[in-house]
Amino acid sequence: MVTEVLESNYKVEKLYATNSFIIKNKSKFKNNIILSEVTREDIDKASLMKNPQNSIALCALPAQKELPEIIDSDLCIFLDEIQDPGNLGTIIRICDWFGIEHLFCSPETADMFNPKVIQSTMGSFCRVNVYSTAFEPVIKLASKSEVTVLGTFLDGENIYTQKLPSRMLLVMGNEGNGISAEIEKMIEKRIKIPEFNKNTISAESLNVSVATAIICAEVKRQTHFLDLFEMK
Amino acid sequence: MVTEVLESNYKVEKLYATNSFIIKNKSKFKNNIILSEVTREDIDKASLMKNPQNSIALCALPAQKELPEIIDSDLCIFLDEIQDPGNLGTIIRICDWFGIEHLFCSPETADMFNPKVIQSTMGSFCRVNVYSTAFEPVIKLASKSEVTVLGTFLDGENIYTQKLPSRMLLVMGNEGNGISAEIEKMIEKRIKIPEFNKNTISAESLNVSVATAIICAEVKRQTHFLDLFEMK
C-alpha cells in the first residue's frame, strides 16, 4: 500500500522505511519527500498492524472531495450508513475492481481513513473517488445526469430476470437495518438478489459488501457480455 | 445466533441467559438443557463481543464430519488455506444463502469454531456442512460423482462468456498466494472473473469471499435463469 500511495495523488509528508525498502523503491520517491531510514523493529512498534511490512507513510488528509458536475458512467454507489470498517474497505476495493468511479458515503458511514478501512481496501483507496455527503445532493446529481436510483429490498425485482437500466445509482443500506425510510422514498427501482436456497431456514441476508459485489458483477456482465445472449 | 443454535443439531450444554431472553425463547429449549439465569452485566463480562446480546450458549464441539458418499448437487467448494476467519465465516454465510451444501476446508484453513468465524457466519454455521479434509479424498469423491474441478486463475476463461459445467467443485485459494501448486495440477477447468476496470492501475484482485460470492452467483444464475436467454 505504501508503494501505491507513493504513486498516487496523496501527499506523503513523511516516509519511514527500512534500508531494503528504500533501495527497492527509490525511483518512486518524489523530490520533496521527508525520508527516515528506520529498522524493522521501529516499524513493528509504530504500526497498527500485526504483521507490518517494511515501511510506514504519513500522508496529509486530502480536502473533502466536491461532488462531480455530472455522473457519466454506468454505475455509481451510495452507502447509507455502512458501519463496519471492513465492509467499507471491501466495497472500495470492489469499486476499484469493477471500475466504479464514484462512491458516495452518507455522513454516518464509517470514516474512510479509519485504519481498518484503509487496510481492507488493499490500496484501492488511492484510486476510487469517495465522497462524504448527504443523500439529497446525490439524488439531485443523479436526476440531472439521467441516472436511475436503485435500492435492494426483499420485495424487489430479481436482478437476473430483467435488463437493468443503463445508468444507475445503487443505494446499499446499513448492515442491520437496510436502507433508511427517508431514502427508501426516493428509490426509483427496487431490486433484489434472488434466494437460491430452498430450505425454509437459511441465511436471511448476505453481508453488505458481498451483496454489493454480486450486484456490481451482474451490472457489468449485462453491460459487457449481454449482447452475447438474447432474451427468449 | 443463540436461538439458531437452539434449533439446530448442535448440543447446547449450558445456556446463560437474561430473564427476558428466557421468557421469549422458552419454547425452543430442549428438555435436557442446563439453564442459568444471569444479568446483562454477567454477559458483558463473559462475552468476546463488544456489544453482546442477552444470552450465551456453551455447545459441545461436534465430531469431525465424515465426507459424504457422493456429491449430488450443482456446486460445492474446497477452500485451500483460507487464513482470515472473517473470510471463512463470510464464505459459510454465502454457502447458506446459495444453498451450497458441502464446504470442504484444507487442514490449513482457519478453524471454523474460531469465534470470529462463528460471528461472521451470522448463524449459517448451523446449516452448512463444513468438512476439514485434505484435497485428495475430495478430488476422488469429485471424480466418483462426475463433478468437474474448477479453480480461479488469472489466465482462466471468463465465467460470463461460457456455459459452466452442470456439476462443479470450485477451489478457492489462499488470500495471498492463490491456489497451491500441488492442487493446481488437479484442476480440470481454469476460470476467472473478468476485469472490468480499464485503467492500467487498478485492484489486482478481489477479496476471496467476494470472489467466491460472484462465482456462486453466476453458477446459480446459469442453473436457474439461463434458460430465459439464448446464446447468440
Q: A28 CB near a chain B CB, below 8 Å?
A: no
The distance of A73 to chain B (nearest Cα, Å) reads 12
- A199's grid cell: 430450505
Which pairing describes strands A55-59 and A12-17: parallel, antiparallel, or unpaired? antiparallel
A8 with A90, same domain: the answer is no
Residue B121 lies in a domain: yes
Q: A7 CB near a chain B CB, below 8 Å?
A: yes
pLDDT digits (tens, 9 = 90+) for A116-142: 999 999 999 999 999 999 999 999 999
Q: B228 CB near a chain A CB, below 8 Å?
A: yes
Domain termination residue (choose one: B59, B85, B100) = B59
Helix residue ranges per DSSP H, A72-229: 85-98, 115-121, 135-144, 181-184, 208-225
Q: Are A207 and B123 inside 8 Å of each other by CB?
A: no
A91 with A52, same domain: the answer is no
pLDDT of residue B229: 58
Q: Are A206 and B93 inside 8 Å of each other by CB?
A: yes
Q: What's the rounded Cα separation, in Å, for the pair B222 and B161?
A: 11
Q: What's the rounded Cα separation, in Å, for the pair B108 and B128?
A: 19
Residue B67 lies in a domain: no
A123 with A38, same domain: the answer is no
pLDDT of residue B230: 57
CATH number where B224 lies = 3.40.1280.10
Work out the number of other CB atoms within 10 angstroms of the CB of residue A94: 28
What value does the mean pLDDT take over residues A174-189? Answer: 95
CA distances from A220 to A93, B64, B105 (A): 16, 41, 31
The distance of A113 to chain B (nearest Cα, Å) reads 18
Choose the closest CB to A99 out of B198, B213, B224.
B198
From first CA to last CA, the distance across chain A in angstroms is 47
Q: Are A127 and B217 inside 8 Å of each other by CB?
A: no
Q: B98 CB near a chain A CB, below 8 Å?
A: yes
Residue A155 lies in a domain: yes
ipTM, 2 dp: 0.90
Task: Please give the DSSP secondary-structure letter assigned to residue A38.
Answer: -
Q: What's the rounded Cα separation, in Å, for the pair B22 and B20?
A: 5
Task: Please give the DSSP secondary-structure letter assigned to residue B145.
Answer: T
CA dihedral defined by A197, A199, A204, A205, rounded to 10 degrees?
Answer: -10
Q: A218 CB near a chain B CB, below 8 Å?
A: yes
pLDDT of residue A195: 87
Q: What's the rounded Cα separation, in Å, for the pair B83 and B65?
A: 21
The top-scoring range by mean pLDDT among A162-166, A192-196, B6-10, B144-148 is B144-148
pLDDT of residue B53: 85
- Give B 155-184 residues with CB within 8 A of chain A: 158, 160-161
Q: A94 CB near a chain B CB, below 8 Å?
A: yes
Please, what sign has the CA dihedral across residues A215, A221, A226, A227? positive
Q: Are B232 and A228 inside 8 Å of each other by CB?
A: yes
Residue A70 lies in a domain: no
Return per-residue pLDDT of chain B as tens, 232 residues: 899 999 999 999 999 999 999 999 999 888 788 999 999 999 999 988 888 889 999 999 999 899 999 999 999 999 999 999 999 999 999 999 999 999 999 999 999 999 999 999 999 999 999 999 999 999 999 999 999 999 999 899 999 999 999 999 999 999 999 999 999 999 999 999 998 887 777 777 899 999 999 999 999 999 888 766 555 5
B84 with B138, same domain: the answer is yes
pLDDT category of residue A189 using cuts at 50, 70 and 90: very high
A53 with A167, same domain: the answer is no
Q: Are A99 and B202 inside 8 Å of each other by CB?
A: yes
- Give B 56-75 residues with CB within 8 A of chain A: none
Q: Are B160 and A193 inside 8 Å of each other by CB?
A: no
Residue A69 lies in a domain: no
Choose the closest CB to A90 out of B207, B224, B232.
B207
- B220's grid cell: 446459480
Give chain A's domain count: 2
CB B86 within 8 A of CB B63: no
pLDDT digits (tens, 9 = 90+) for A71-113: 999 999 999 999 999 999 999 999 999 999 999 999 999 999 9
Residue A53 lies in a domain: yes
Q: B200 CB near a chain A CB, below 8 Å?
A: no
Residue B65 lies in a domain: no
Residue B82 lies in a domain: yes
Residue for grid cell 488455506: B81
Q: What's the rounded Cα separation, in Å, for the pair B121 and B103?
A: 13
A127 with A219, same domain: the answer is yes
A44 with A126, same domain: the answer is no
The distance of A14 to chain B (nearest Cα, Å) reads 24
Nearest to A231 by CA among B144, B185, B226: B226
pLDDT of residue B228: 62
Choose the closest CB to A161 out of B199, B203, B225.
B225
CA dihedral defined by B208, B209, B210, B214, rounded to 10 degrees?
Answer: 100
B122 with B154, same domain: the answer is yes
CB neighbour list of residue A69: distance below 8 Å, 6 or more residues apart: none
Q: Are A230 and B228 inside 8 Å of each other by CB?
A: no
What value does the mean pLDDT take over residues A41-67? Answer: 90
Q: Are A199 and B127 inside 8 Å of each other by CB?
A: yes
B172 with B83, same domain: the answer is yes
A199 with A92, same domain: the answer is yes
B22 with B117, same domain: the answer is no
A18 with A116, same domain: the answer is no
Mean pLDDT score across all residues of chain A: 92
Q: A188 CB near a chain B CB, below 8 Å?
A: no
What value does the mean pLDDT take over residues A193-197? Answer: 89
Q: Which domain holds residue A160?
A: 75-228
pLDDT of residue B201: 74
Q: Are A97 and B229 inside 8 Å of each other by CB?
A: no
